[in-house]
A and B are shown apart, each in its own frame.
Chain A
Amino acid sequence: MATVTLTNVAKRFGAFEVVHGANIDIADGEFVVFVGPSGCGKSTLLRMIAGLEDISGGEIAIGGKVVNDVEPADRGIAMVFQSYALYPHMSVEQNLSFGLRMTGNPKADTERRVKRAAEILRISELMDRRPKKLSGGQRQRVAIGRAIVREPQVFLFDEPLSNLDAELRVQMRVEISRLHKELGATMVYVTHDQTEAMTLADRIVVLRGGHVEQIGRPLDLYDNPDNIFVAGFVGSPKMNFIKAHIVGRDAKGVVVELAGEEKTRFTQPLKVAAPEPGSKVIVGVRPEHFGSAGEGAADLTAAIDVVEHLGGTSFLYARTSHGEDVVIQRDAAKVPETSEVTVSIRKSYLFDEKGLRLR
């Protein structure tokens, strides 16, 4: 087991910089998920930790030892690829043992490790099959098994579930979580799926455009985002963003009025200096933070476009009189029959025009 420390790690392709000085500390045995939209540099960052990409600046240390110039095989890591990268011409058993056999590992030890990995992943009955005879989930298990037999200090996962169907993805997510508990190894996991990140991670690193936007525990990111990007990225359906402006200040904080909604005024607690009255801001409200009319600081009326019934809860896709699209979460029993809904804002977040959180 080992820590992973990234200090000012940068990656440039020619003049184009894709990772801008990332600083990330990963503790021993921690499960950290890099999450962000396509092209945010999360896979590049993972490949730099693996040693499959050179780093253009900064320092990567694994287990306290700087590995910038250490060969990938000597870094004590194992990686699970998005496409599984299984050897198509080898059986499952050969896939698992290939690396050990090629490096002259004692036969008995190789057999022991392969057997253990197969037992952990419950693939013992598949050992003679070739990858093309396996289902997607089974291939993924073999790919993980190949990482386990290396007995690495750090496991790296590069979007390992993105080729699986929705049901299998949930199942494998649970398996990976179980594996982390069982092995207790440090794991770094890349995904663009915020649900995977929220459910798997001890800590999440949110990336955008090669910058680390925020690092924190899943619920911290959800409850306390640093900026509008993190607020929007974490949570499903995403947070609603409604244009607003400052109208004044009172004892508790700053008074905000939603754009075009003169009646919808409320006080937002604020520790920092309040923006000038008239300043434009953005109010963020999670779908579940809309309450029944009169329950919160201010009411808002919106015309319902579409209702999605998920069983216990429903989502109302609605539009305010000012033309802002909002998603409202409701108990299925409380979905109105009318074409309009009036809700209260029970909890909200305030962002400045640049998208930085005001708190």
Chain B
Amino acid sequence: MRNRNATAYRFLTPYLLIFAIFWVWPIISSFLISFQATRTVPWRFAPGFNWGRLIGDPAFFNALKNTLLILVIQVPVMIALAMVMAVLLNSPLLRARGLYRFAFFAPVVVGEVAYSAVFRLMFSLDFGIVNKLLNSIGLPKVDWFSNVTPAMALIMIAVTWRWAGYNAIILLAGMQSIPEDVYEAATLDRVSKLKQFFHITLPLLKPVIVFCAVLSIIGTMQLFTEPFLITERGGPGGGTETLGLLLYRQGFRSLNFGYASAVAYTMAGLAIAITLVQLWLTREPK
């Protein structure tokens, strides 16, 4: 048996080598970089340099606050919206179901740059359709790009628009896997459709909802495209700067790889921690 294992590992060696060089080593190496002072050449080992800066850096805490704010507001709203969309898509009354399914999924396949450009146009102060609509119902124009609160709202709207349909399709698949006769049994038990949703659909969908939430948390922790392209590099004045953007700024603009690496590992650590809390809170009772 031992011999057979050895042979198997010999066959696996080429793959394991590539895996170690291009996957394992970069992870270790980038983590080690976070312990180096990289602002001047040559880099030197200084464990407290980046991690110490992180703890006292207002820009980091601003980015962290923005990221968490988006996470706390946008993820629940998006999943609730995705649930409503999934329920509508699942309705037997709906016609042209395939068309709607495609329409809801389409934002995911639209290029990020194209969609950001369209959002900038739609929310433009003077020419945007959104402000025109607000005006038409008697509300004042909103300067979406110059004030922090509307800019944050815009980021959340954009991310929700992009990913709600995607989550709705995943939830729909979950809904369709619930056997029809469970609902029939509930109907015979005189349980209303609304109660069926809250007492049957939602509990049975819990694993799927948790899956969507975990994906969304990871995605939001890495949020970059929208604040970079729509609110122009986290504007106004860093008001929409996220951790992803801070990482980019440090790594690619200031070429301060050590600090960027510390930010990156903080993002990953936070995503894992939040996800673990989420999984613990929604665990199945034994």
Contact = CB atoms under 8 A, between A and B. Distances in A.
Interface stretch (A55-63, A77-85, A216-224, A258-266): A77-85
Contact of B199 (A79, A88, A98): A98
8 contacts: A79-B188, A86-B182, A99-B188, A99-B189, A102-B195, A102-B199, A103-B189, A150-B188
Interface residues of A, number: 23
8 A-B pairs with the lowest CB-CB distances in the bound complex, closest first: A99-B189, A73-B190, A85-B181, A85-B185, A89-B203, A102-B191, A81-B181, A103-B190
Contacts of B203: 89
Interface string B97-125: 00000000000000000000000000000
Size category of the binding interface on chain B: 10 to 19
B186 interface: yes
Interface of B: 179, 181-182, 184-192, 195, 199-200, 203-204, 206
Contacts of B192: 102
A81 B182 CA distance: 9
A182 B182 CA distance: 27
A72 interface: yes
A78 B188 contact: yes
A52 B182 contact: no
B187 A72 contact: yes
Contacts of B206: 89
A122 B137 CA distance: 66
A85 B182 contact: yes
Contacts of A83: 179, 181
Nearest to B191: A102
Contacts of A86: 182, 185
Contacts of B185: 79, 81, 85-87, 146
Interface string A181-204: 000000000000000000000000
B204 A99 contact: no
A82 B192 CA distance: 23
A49 to B, nearest CB: 12
Nearest to B203: A89
A98 B192 CA distance: 12
Nearest to A95: B185
Nearest to B202: A89
A45 interface: no
B179 A99 contact: no
Interface in A79-125: 79, 81-83, 85-89, 98-100, 102-103
A50 interface: yes
Contacts of A150: 188-189
A52 B184 contact: yes
Given A81-B184, A85-B184, A89-B203, A102 B179 contact: no
Interface in A27-78: 50, 52, 72-74, 77-78
Contacts of A72: 187-188
A87 B184 contact: no
Interface string A113-152: 0000000000000000000000000000000001000100
Nearest to A77: B188
A86 B203 CA distance: 14
Nearest to B192: A102
Contacts of A99: 186, 188-191
Given A98-B199, A102-B195, A102-B199, A85 B187 contact: no
Nearest to A91: B285
B212 to A, nearest CB: 18
Given A87-B200, A88-B204, A89-B203, A73 B181 contact: no
Contact of B191 (A77, A79, A89, A103): A103
Contacts of B187: 52, 72-73
Nearest to A100: B189
Interface string A329-350: 0000000000000000000000
A109 to B, nearest CB: 15
B180 to A, nearest CB: 9
A87 to B, nearest CB: 6
A78 B187 CA distance: 11
Given A72-B188, A77-B188, A99-B190, A89 B181 contact: no
A163 to B, nearest CB: 13
A98 B185 CA distance: 10
A81 B179 CA distance: 12
Contacts of B191: 98-99, 102-103
Nearest to B183: A85
A103 B190 CA distance: 7
A89 B204 contact: yes
A50 B188 contact: yes
Contacts of B184: 52, 79, 81, 85
B37 to A, nearest CB: 54
A127 to B, nearest CB: 15
B31 to A, nearest CB: 41
Contacts of A100: 189
A128 to B, nearest CB: 11
A87 B206 CA distance: 14
Residue among A78, A99, A146 having the largest count of chain B Cβ atoms under 10 Å: A99
Contact of A85 (B179, B190, B195, B204): B179
Given A85-B184, A100-B189, 18 more contacts: A52-B184, A52-B188, A74-B190, A79-B185, A81-B184, A81-B185, A82-B181, A85-B185, A87-B186, A87-B200, A89-B206, A98-B199, A99-B189, A102-B186, A103-B189, A103-B190, A103-B191, A146-B185
Contacts of B181: 81-83, 85
Given A87-B200, A89-B203, A89-B204, A98 B182 contact: no
B187 to A, nearest CB: 6
B188 A102 contact: no
A75 to B, nearest CB: 9
